[in-house]
Chains A and B, each alone.
Chain A
């Protein structure tokens, strides 16, 4: 697995291609990308993402190891940014490879569900005069129970 927590932007296409090039015998490759959304109709200036250095990497590794143990996956890539991001910037990506697509899809969904609520990141929306921490949603917590 390849886990990266960084403030620098990354090239989604280049990362997906590099991940694909490392695989062999994998018939399926799934990627998911999270992007900064402006929910306030032009009112969002930036999203600030804070994390817990040290724990973040460990938490993601644990989630990825769990995914590898549950599905027939070849490999996992997770890149998650922190710091100040503009609307439409890429926040994070996951990629999974597997012999068959069901494992690749489910593994990626599992990773996303747990990254949302079990990896120590916190988002703050900055827009105009308002600065608000993004509240965790009950649906995101509920999503964990299906696994």
Chain B
């Protein structure tokens, strides 16, 4: 699946997108896998309270299942308007 990063999450990870093969059942499991990758991922995902997640372009929570999902995005709380 594609994993996308926006705003300071993208800056901490260092790039906007990863293509990952994962057996993670939920967003939280995916986050734990990402944290293991490298220190910069651990830094980006240090505080989940500071992050929001979208699953296939819909806002979701960290317990959302990933079965059949094509795209997961991580970002800070939104500041539109």
- List A residues at the B interface (Cβ < 8 Å): 34, 50, 52, 54-55, 58-59, 80, 91-92, 112, 115-124, 133-136, 141
- With a cutoff of 8 Å between Cβ atoms, the chain B residues found around residue A117 in the complex are 77-80
CB distance from B79 to the nearest CB of A (A): 5
Are A134 and B73 within 8 A (Cβ)?
Answer: no
- With a cutoff of 8 Å between Cβ atoms, the chain A residues found around residue B79 in the complex are 116-117, 121-123, 133-136
Q: State in angstroms the CA–CA spacing of A55 and B79 once bound together.
A: 15
CB distance from A78 to the nearest CB of B (A): 10
- With a cutoff of 8 Å between Cβ atoms, the chain A residues found around residue B62 in the complex are none
Supposing A52-B4, A92-B81, A122-B7 touch, asked if A133 and B57 sit within 8 A by C-beta, the answer is no
Are A122 and B54 within 8 A (Cβ)?
Answer: no
Q: State in angstroms the CA–CA spacing of A115 and B79 once bound together.
A: 8
What are the nearest 4 A-B pairs in CB distance?
A136-B77, A121-B80, A122-B7, A55-B57
Interface size on B, residues (CB 8 A): 16
CB distance from A121 to the nearest CB of B (A): 4
Q: State in angstroms the CA–CA spacing of A92 and B81 once bound together.
A: 7
- With a cutoff of 8 Å between Cβ atoms, the chain B residues found around residue A121 in the complex are 78-81
Are B80 and A55 within 8 A (Cβ)?
Answer: no
B43 in the interface (beta carbon within 8 A): no
Q: Mark B1-32, 1 if CB is under 8 A from A, else 0.
A: 00010111000000000000000000000000
Are B81 and A112 within 8 A (Cβ)?
Answer: yes
Are B81 and A122 within 8 A (Cβ)?
Answer: no
CB distance from B14 to the nearest CB of A (A): 16
